[in-house]
Amino acid sequence: MLVCVFEGKEQWVVKEVDPPDLGEDEVLIQVKAAGICGTDIHILRAEYFQDFPIIAGHEFSGQVVEVGRKVSQFKVGDRVTADPNIFCDRCYFCKINKNNHCLNAQAVGVTRSGAFAELVAVPEKCIFPIPENLTFAEAALAEPLACVVYGAKRSGIQPGEKVLIFGAGPIGLLLLALYKVYGASQIVVVDVSEKKLAKAKEWGADLVVLADGTEDKLIREISPLGFELVVDATGIPRVQENELQFIQPDGTYLLFGVAPVGSQMTIDPYFIFRNDVRILGSYAVKKTMQYAINLLTQGKIPVKELVSASYPLPQFGQALQEVLHNPDRLKIQIHFA
């Protein structure tokens, strides 16, 4: 089968390898669509907890082509997507319902072979059926949406509160869509790309702010007393440290964007103390995949608009170039015939 292997830091190759061995509790999926995520870029740059060589790709959908002996819920031909996070269900954190902090966690496309490949083997417990009305391209966005559902559940907001989102990429837009569902009274979105901001407007942002150096002043004018919720969807530490100032007293900061492992940001501890600030992380997915699929199935979030371009696997290099160098792009996917 044809795969893209990340062989080491900044090194990748598209090549033929043997199909994966299928465990008795695993399902073999013929991949139809796989999104390239910021995390994949961190993996390629050795800024994550990856193991090289690795076939990356953790946002995907496809069709079942084989099932292991113990698989009971799926059959050949089923259309599916997957939660790439594999939890042991036995360790301390799994037993107290903190599965996403499983001490023995594996992840498809991070610690084991992923979906930048014609075939991917995934444990049955991680697989979810997708309805006929969802395309494979849409279903491949269920995983990022599941991450966003988890983050939104953690940060909450009450109807009428104000939200400020930094970053209008696919994650920022998904957060925007969800906080609208939560009943925010005003959502302001900040980004460096005018095209992305135009999309944020289409998706219901009340105001958008171009990050051209004048944004701090503009944000202050929009809401002089700050926002109940400030969300980072940029993953850039120097942007993140500037975001805190916009949090209202007793407000919440959701750090959603993935910064490189070991990077630093500067925080004024007195500001956190004086303003009763709550700082939250949001790691991966915790039992929110089905909710993401439910939202997609009911057409609540127009995710197909998030796909800027899709390339066949042999053109992985072009796809990567676009991810790295086109500031206006949203989700770039790899597709298979």
Residues 125, 336: Cα–Cα separation, whole Å: 24
Which CB sits closer to Zn ion, 81 or 248? 81
Query: Which of 17, 46, 91, 280 lies at the binding interface for Zn ion (CB under 5 A)?
Result: 91
* Packing angle, helices 170-181 and 142-155, rounded to 10: 50
Give yes or no for residue 39 binding Zn ion (CB under 5 A): yes
Distance between CA atoms of residues 102 and 91, nearest Å: 7
State the nearest-atom distance from the C-beta of 46 to Zn ion, in Å: 17
CB nearer to Zn ion: give 134 or 285: 285
Q: Determine if 102 is a binding residue for Zn ion (CB under 5 A).
A: yes
Give min distance, CB of 232 to Zn ion, in A.
Answer: 16
Whole-angstrom distance, CA of residue 200 vs CA of residue 27:
37
* Cis ω for the linkage preceding 20 (within 30 of 0): no
How many residues line the site for Zn ion (CB under 5 A)? 7
Nearer to Zn ion, 246 or 256 (CB): 256
Decide if residue 94 touches Zn ion (CB under 5 A). Answer: yes
| Inter-residue contact 165 to 187 (CB < 8 Å) | yes
User: How many other CB atoms are found less than 10 A from the CB of residue 12?
Assistant: 21
**Shortest CB 129 distance to Zn ion, Å:** 21
* Closest CB 222 distance from Zn ion, rounded Å: 30
Residue number, 94 or 229, with CB nearest to Zn ion: 94
Out of 2, 14, 17, 88, name the contact with Zn ion by CB under 5 A: 88
Q: Is 198 exposed, middle or buried (0-12, 13-18, 19+ CB in 10 A)?
A: middle
Establish if 37 lies at the interface with Zn ion (CB under 5 A).
yes
- Shorter beta-carbon distance to Zn ion: residue 39 or 282: 39
Q: Residues 45, 26: contact at Cβ < 8 Å? A: no
Closest CA to 163 of 153, 147, 176: 176
In whole angstroms, the minimum distance from the beta carbon of 171 to Zn ion comes to 9
Q: Report the interface residues with Zn ion, using CB under 5 A.
A: 37, 39, 87-88, 91, 94, 102
